[in-house]
Amino acid sequence: MSFPFYPEGARRRSMLTMISSTLIPVCEDVWQVRQALVVNGVPAHTRMTVIRLASGQLWVHSPVALDAALVTELRQLGTVAAVVAPNCAHHLFAGAFMQAFPQATLYLAPGLSRKRPDLRGQPLPDEPGIWQPDLSYHWWRGMPLINETVWFHARSGTLILTDVCQWWQGDRLPWQAALWARLTRVRRRLGVPLHVRALVRDADAAAASARQILDWPIRRISVAHDGLIEVRAHEQLAIALEPLLRRGR
Ligand SMILES: [Fe+2]
């Protein structure tokens, strides 16, 4: 598979191996693209989420690498209006994505503009964005090195998580991926990986964010690495967040 939109700013160590670039329907007005990549020698998967807003425009979360087929699919779906780089780690493909969809506005997670000053984006606004009333977001506090923003699509009850919670599912993971997932405690169920827990600088703030996220009426969870949870979603999230809730007030 070719890469006509090779990611600007991608580090050589995290080269991409694409296995799919097809929009997969999740539910009404929600799609995902699942891609394979190798990060620091570990094979992984990541998911981009696309939501059609009530306005008919498209909102894109955590862009992946594009090829011509995916660009065509997206253009057939609607006009891309907003692209979100949701935390300080998910930005590798944002520049190339914006080259393909220059009419869209790129929104950057808090602190990301300092890390990637080359990205022409705006900070996520405190006031309602063009994604309302369809989507709300919460900035997960207490983890300033990652500064993840978590998104909730009210109509479908879908929570969109990037790195703070992960679940490396599948019976046939490459051994390096399976080992990494076991070591970080996200192989068998949804959880906060150990290396993400180590990023907590303010346990009370992280716990308060976890409680706030659990207040949403969550019926489905999209996990960038890597799954779609549609059974007992809220209960599974509450169990996953227990380590953060325990550490904070
Ligand atoms: Fe990630």
In this predicted model, what pLDDT tens digit does every residue of 182-227 receive, in sequence order? 999 999 999 999 999 999 999 999 999 999 999 999 999 999 999 9
- Ligand 1 centroid to Cα of residue 12, in Å, is 16
- Ligand 1 centroid to Cα of residue 154, in Å, is 24
Residue 13 has pLDDT above 50, yes or no: no
- Ligand 1 centroid to Cα of residue 56, in Å, is 28
- Ligand 1 centroid to Cα of residue 249, in Å, is 27
- Ligand 1 centroid to Cα of residue 11, in Å, is 14
- Ligand 1 centroid to Cα of residue 21, in Å, is 18
Residue 247 has pLDDT above 70, yes or no: yes
Residue 10 is predicted with a pLDDT of: 40
Question: Which 3 state secondary structure label does DSSP give 206?
Answer: helix
As a whole number, the mean pLDDT across the chain is 91
- Ligand 1 centroid to Cα of residue 123, in Å, is 20
- Ligand 1 centroid to Cα of residue 36, in Å, is 12
- Ligand 1 centroid to Cα of residue 186, in Å, is 13
φ/ψ (deg, to 5) at 188: -100, -15
Residue 4 is predicted with a pLDDT of: 29
Residue 155 has pLDDT above 80, yes or no: yes
Average pLDDT rounded to a whole number, residues 131-155: 97
Residue 8 is predicted with a pLDDT of: 37
- Ligand 1 centroid to Cα of residue 109, in Å, is 13
- Ligand 1 centroid to Cα of residue 158, in Å, is 19
Residue 109 has pLDDT above 50, yes or no: yes
- Ligand 1 centroid to Cα of residue 162, in Å, is 6
Residue 62 is predicted with a pLDDT of: 98
Residue 128 has pLDDT above 90, yes or no: no
19-77 pLDDT, tens per residue? 567 999 999 999 999 999 988 889 999 999 999 999 999 999 999 999 999 999 999 99
Beta strands, E only, the chain: 24-27, 30-39, 42-52, 58-61, 80-85, 105-108, 122-123, 135-139, 149-153, 158-161, 220-223, 227-229
Cis peptide leading into residue 110 (ω within 30°): no
- Ligand 1 centroid to Cα of residue 23, in Å, is 19
Q: How confident is the model at residue 171 (pLDDT cuts 50, 70, 90)?
A: confident
- Ligand 1 centroid to Cα of residue 163, in Å, is 5
- Ligand 1 centroid to Cα of residue 110, in Å, is 16
Residue 228 is predicted with a pLDDT of: 95
Q: How confident is the model at residue 17 (pLDDT cuts 50, 70, 90)?
A: very low
More confidently predicted of 8 and 240? 240
